[in-house]
Structures are given as C-alpha cells and as structure tokens.
Amino acid sequence: MPVGLDRTDKALLNALQGNARLTVAELADRVSLTTSPCWRRVKNLEDSGVISGYQAILSPKALGYGVTAFVSIMMDTHSKEIARAFEQRLLDIPEIVACHNVSGRYDFLLEVVAKDLESFGEFAREVLQTLPCVKEIYSSFSYKSVRPLRVIPLPG
C-alpha cells in the first residue's frame, strides 16, 4: 500500500529525483521549509522506504560501453530453487545493469552493457549461454537512450 504523501513530501521527492546532492538547506529552500523540519521529513521518507538510497548516475558511453543490449532469457525449467540460484548468479555479473523476472514467453529481461558488438557476442557466448538451465536467449540492441534517467512518477 502506498504511503500517504502530502504536497511537501512530493516536492521533496521531486527535488531529490532531480538532484540527490542538494544540501538540506537547499532542499528546504526549494520546498519552503526550515532545515530541521526538512531533514525530519527526508529522514521519515528514508525510514518508510519511499527513499531507498542515493546513487550517482554514470555515463556508460564515457566509461567505454558503446553497446546496450536487452536480453530475454527463457529457462528450461521453472522450479523455485533453480530460479533463485539463477537470480543469485546474475547478481555477480557486472555487465548486467538491470534484471527483471517477467511474464510472457521469456522468464528474465536483462539490460547489459558492453564495449562493442564483438565484446557483447563474447559475453553472450561465454557468460550467458553457460548459465545453467538457459534454454533460449534473444537480444535486442538500443540505438539510443530516449529517456536515460529513471524518474518515478508520484501518485496523484
């Protein structure tokens, strides 16, 4: 169940999604609060799990990753133990930057970065295809990121 957010909470969340490095004083100024109540509200949002962390947004291109692939994986078996072991294994692969267990024909959708197409091919052959219980792999490649920042819409 979503937590009840008032207008000030939403303003805080919008400001932090835009720039999580704002100081409490800057944040308080943006939402018309003094620093102590602002800090308490942010702390409450963190404690309730609405804010689950803070992270720097890195540029894959600037770090030498010229390819982003979306990889759909079909498993050949669907036991709970195998799925959990598979998920745990994916967490140890740094090239996988996002992973979702999905409905439909495929079981998992991965977002993968690679230096170039050749290195992605190597990754697919030497890493993904060697994972246990993988029946089928289907890859699509991103031409460009149209919406690179993940901003969560706030409820009405």
CATH T-level topology, domain 5-46: Arc Repressor Mutant, subunit A (1.10.10)
- Percent above pLDDT 90 for the chain: 88
Domain range summary for the chain, segments of one domain joined by +: 5-46, 58-140
Higher pLDDT: 150 or 46? It is: 46
Residue with tokens 């003094």: 34
Residue with tokens 């803070």: 54
Q: What is the mean pLDDT of the chain?
A: 94
Note whether 5-46 and 58-140 share their fold: no
pLDDT at 78: 86
Residues 6 or more apart in contact with residue 136 via CB below 8 angstroms: 73, 74, 106
- 80-114 confidence digits (pLDDT tens): 998 899 999 999 999 999 999 999 999 999 999 99
> Which among 154, 156, 129 has a CA at the least distance from the CA of 51?
154
pLDDT at 150: 87
pLDDT at 140: 98
Q: Tell whether the model's pLDDT for residue 2 goes beyond 70.
A: no
- 84: helix, coil or strand? helix
Architecture of domain 58-140: 2-Layer Sandwich (3.30)
pLDDT at 4: 85
Alpha-carbon distance of 11 to 30, in angstroms, equals 8
Residues 6 or more apart in contact with residue 2 via CB below 8 angstroms: 155
Alpha-carbon distance of 30 to 138, in angstroms, equals 46
pTM here is 0.88
